[in-house]
């Protein structure tokens, strides 16, 4: 029995704080977990690998 499954995070977006806020809202509405990493001027978003395809589809449809 597997008790500890490691889920890898995949980078899906990087941008300014206001762009990131819009993307987080979009992904949260689709129940996609988002990991935020602040790197100064750019903020990077990652999602679990299982949710990558759906996240990319949503982000691409927005732009």
Residues 28-54 pLDDT 10s: 999 999 999 998 888 999 999 999 999
> What's the maximum distance between 2 C-alpha atoms anywhere in the chain?
44
* Residues in CB range of 38: below 8 A, 6 or more apart: none
Q: What is the per-residue pLDDT for 63?
A: 62
Residue 10 pLDDT > 70:
yes
Residue 2's pLDDT band (cuts 50, 70, 90)? low
Could you say which of 3.20.20.140, 3.10.129.10, 3.30.70.1530, 3.40.50.300 is the CATH number of the domain covering 13-62? 3.30.70.1530
User: Which long-range contacts (C-beta less than 8 Å, at least 24 apart) are formed by 33-37?
Assistant: 35/9
Give the residue extent of every domain in the chain: 13-62
Q: What is the per-residue pLDDT for 62?
A: 80
């Amino acid at each position: 029995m597997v008790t500890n499954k490691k889920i890898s995070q995949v980078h899906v977006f990087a941008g300014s704080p206001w762009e990131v806020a819009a993307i987080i809202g979009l992904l949260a509405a689709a129940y996609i977990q988002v990991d935020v990493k602040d790197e100064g001027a750019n903020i990077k978003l990652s999602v679990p690998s299982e949710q990558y395809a759906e996240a990319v589809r949503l982000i691409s449809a927005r732009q």
